[in-house]
């Protein structure tokens, strides 16, 4: 039986050929892709870098450069999110300050943010986890008054809209990831956006200071793109599961490298973006169907999805109250060829005990989410037949 991977952007042969030809293109193709992304996101200012982590790091470095008060060195973020986010915060010599999440939205508990703000708060980073939008508007009001930078981590939510606006473009700053598990991927990559054109010069300097990628390294990137185009296809994925497993992130990242985005990735992105709306729509529709399957059942908590949101689910998150039921769902779905994931099984303050010196449980909702989460794939290769299998399994178990 064919296995469906948990995540992955399917590439067409024509798109892979573009990436190969991109090896021989100049940096202009990056500018062309940037213009395409600006239109897609409806933003004026944007830059491409090698990863979402670098995008986050450069934004933090930028905030440091223009902060009014050099004593401000704290960054507020949710207690349940990607552990790798601590790397750019620490690399910028800043201190993470955690806030609990909300079990209704699965995102930052907005009403608890003001308690975490101090005279040392430099920035607040709401994260749109799993593609689910975090309501940023109330934070805009809070930060404007306090002279604090607000930047959205939209790494997993490319294509999600809240109140008609793209996630990542509501606050004055934002960033996205184009890494391989993300909503649309160019193997790796990061997008930085900022609203105020006055900042262009400083941002340009920060981005231009990144080392360019040499021809040999670009060739390796192109080979990886070819490999990825095969690996996400259920046939190859099934045949090569043990080999592909080696390339999955299973351990915590301990460092990151920053360098420039490459023409080969931009050439791929440029071709891929023609299907961006279709790829996004599939995530939105699959997410809605999963919401119907899992919603209104006592065994699960599904996230709130407001009618005015369009949620491009990166994966569909749900809380399974009973852990033995969660294990059984995972087992049955896998037997039917559908892989699921538990993502980060611990919140940040458990992974990094130094963030919780008292040893008590300061962020219980984040811990509960981490320990009960199950993620169902929503990407463009999830078909009606997969969703029907999921429905049958859940009907038989619950
Ligand atoms: C929420 C979130 N932010 C940031 C990142 C970092 O992005 P990248 O992998 O492109 O460095 C990730 C990646 O897993 C993420 O999930």
Q: What is the pLDDT of residues 354-395, one digit of tens each?
A: 999 788 999 999 999 999 999 999 999 999 999 999 999 999
* Averaged pLDDT for residues 99-128: 97
pTM: 0.96
Distance 195 CA to ligand 1 centre (A): 21
Query: Token pair of 284, please?
Result: 């939105």
272 lines ligand 1 (CB under 6 A): no
Say yes or no: do domains 13-208 and 275-397 share a fold. no
**Residue whose tokens read 């990151």:** 256
| Distance in Å, CA 147 to ligand 1 centroid | 26
Please tell me if the CB atom of residue 190 comes closer than 6 angstroms to any atom of ligand 1: yes
* CB-based contacts of 350, cutoff 8 Å, min separation 6: 356, 367, 370
Pick from 179, 227, 160: which is nearest to 55 by CA?
179
pLDDT-based confidence at residue 1 (cuts at 50, 70, 90): confident
Q: Contacts by 292-299 with C-beta closer than 8 Å and gap 24+?
A: 293/387, 293/390, 293/391, 293/394, 294/318, 294/394, 297/394, 297/398, 299/325, 299/398
Tell me the average pLDDT of the chain: 95
| Helices 263-272 and 28-41, packing angle to 10 deg | 40
Region 14-35: what's the mean pLDDT? 95
* Ligand 1 centroid from CA 68, angstroms: 28
CA-to-CA distance for 33 and 19, rounded, in angstroms? 13
Q: How many CB atoms lie within 10 A of CB 324?
A: 8
Q: What is the pLDDT of residues 40-58, one digit of tens each?
A: 999 999 999 999 999 999 9
Q: Residue 285 is encoded by which pair of tokens? A: 């529709």
Taking the domains of the chain in order of start, what are their residue ranges? 13-208, 275-397
| 127 CB within 6 A, ligand 1 | yes
* Sheet containing strand 165-166, strands side by side: 165-166, 161-162, 309-310
Q: Ligand 1 within 6 A of 185 CB? A: no
pLDDT value at position 220? 96
Query: Does ligand 1 come within 6 angstroms of the Cβ of 179?
Result: yes
**Residue 238: per-residue pLDDT:** 83
Whole-number Cα distances in Å, 189 to 186, 221, 354, 356, 391: 7, 11, 30, 32, 35
- Site to probe by mutation for ligand 1, drawn from 85, 134, 343 as the one with most ligand atoms within 8 Å of Cβ, is 85
pLDDT at 85 over 80: yes
User: How would residue 68 be classed by pLDDT, with cut points 50, 70 and 90?
Assistant: confident
**pLDDT at residue number 249:** 64
Chain segment 324-356, per-residue pLDDT in tens: 999 999 999 999 999 999 999 999 999 999 999
Right CATH for 275-397 from 3.90.1150.10, 3.40.50.300, 3.40.30.10, 1.10.1740.10: 3.90.1150.10
Whether 118 shows a pLDDT value over 90: the answer reads yes
- Is the confidence at residue 112, as pLDDT, over 90? yes
Pocket of ligand 1 contains residue 340 by CB under 6 Å: no
Helix/strand/coil percentages in the chain, nearest 5: 45, 15, 40
User: Which residue is closest in CA terms to ligand 1's atom 14?
Assistant: 82
**Ligand 1 contact, 84 CB (< 6 A):** yes
pLDDT tens-digit series, residues 244-285: 676 666 677 889 999 999 999 999 999 999 999 999 999 999
Does the CB atom of residue 177 touch ligand 1 within 6 A?
Answer: yes
What are the φ/ψ torsions at residue 195 (nearest 5 degrees)?
-85, -40
Residue 231, pLDDT > 90, answer no
Mean pLDDT of 2-23: 91
Question: pLDDT-derived band of residue 180, with 50, 70 and 90 as boundaries?
Answer: very high
Q: Ligand 1 center to residue 177 CA distance, Å?
A: 6
CA distance 339 to 18: 30
52 CA to centre of ligand 1 in angstroms: 5
Q: How confident is the model at residue 213 (pLDDT cuts 50, 70, 90)?
A: very high
CA atoms within 13 A on the CB side of 219: 3
Indicate the pLDDT class of residue 146, thresholds 50, 70 and 90. Answer: confident
- pLDDT on residue 248: 67
Q: Please state, in angstroms and rounded to a whole number, the distance separating the CA atoms of residues 156 and 319.
A: 19
Beta strands across the sheet bearing 315-320: 300-301, 315-320, 373-377
Q: How far is the CA of 153 from the centre of ligand 1 (A)?
A: 8
Which of the residue ranges 45-59, 135-149, 289-303 would you say has the lowest mean pLDDT? Answer: 135-149
13-208: what CATH class?
alpha beta
Residue 53 beta carbon below 6 angstroms from any ligand 1 atom: yes
Identify the band that residue 235 occupies on the pLDDT scale cut at 50, 70 and 90: confident
pLDDT at 242 over 80: no
């Amino acid at each position: 039986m064919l296995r469906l991977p948990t995540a992955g952007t399917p590439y067409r042969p024509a798109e892979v050929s573009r990436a190969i030809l991109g090896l021989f293109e100049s940096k202009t193709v990056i500018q062309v892709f940037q213009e395409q992304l600006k239109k897609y996101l409806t933003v004026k200012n944007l830059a491409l870098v090698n990863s979402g982590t670098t995008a986050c790091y450069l934004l933090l470095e930028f905030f440091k450069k223009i902060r009014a008060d050099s004593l401000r060195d704290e960054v507020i973020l949710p207690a349940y999110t990607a552990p790798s986010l601590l790397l750019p915060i620490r690399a910028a010599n800043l201190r993470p300050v955690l806030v609990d999440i909300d079990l209704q939205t699965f995102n930052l508990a907005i009403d608890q943010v003001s308690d975490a703000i101090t005279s040392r708060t430099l920035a607040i980073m709401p994260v749109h986890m799993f593609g689910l939008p975090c309501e940023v508007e109330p934070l805009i009001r809070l930060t404007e008054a306090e002279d604090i930078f607000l930047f959205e981590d939209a790494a997993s939510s490319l294509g999600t809209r809240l109140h008609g606006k793209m996630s990542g473009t509501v606050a004055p700053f934002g960033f996205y990831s184009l890494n391989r598990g993300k909503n649309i991927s160019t193997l790796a990559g990061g997008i930085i956006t900022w609203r105020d054109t006055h900042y262009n010069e400083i941002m340009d300097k920060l981005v231009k200071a990144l080392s360019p990628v040499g021809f040999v390294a670009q060739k390796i990137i192109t080979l990886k793109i070819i490999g990825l185009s095969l690996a996400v296809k259920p046939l190859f994925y099934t045949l090569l599961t043990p080999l592909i497993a080696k390339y999955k992130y299973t351990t915590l990242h301990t460092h990151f490298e920053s360098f420039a985005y490459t023409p080969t990735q931009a050439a791929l992105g440029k071709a891929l973006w023609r299907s961006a709306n279709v790829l996004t729509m599939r995530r939105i529709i699959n997410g809605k169907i999963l919401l119907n399957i899992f919603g209104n059942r006592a065994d699960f908590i599904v996230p709130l999805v407001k009618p005015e949101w369009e949620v491009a689910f990166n994966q569909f998150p749900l809380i399974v109250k009973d852990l033995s039921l969660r294990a059984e769902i995972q087992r049955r779905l896998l037997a039917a060829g559908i892989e699921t994931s538990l993502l980060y099984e611990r919140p940040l303050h458990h992974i990094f005990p130094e963030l919780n010196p008292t040893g008590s449980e300061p962020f219980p909702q984040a811990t509960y989410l981490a320990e009960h989460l199950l993620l169902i794939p929503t990407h463009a290769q999830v078909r009606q037949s997969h969703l029907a299998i999921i429905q049958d399994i859940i009907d038989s178990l619950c």
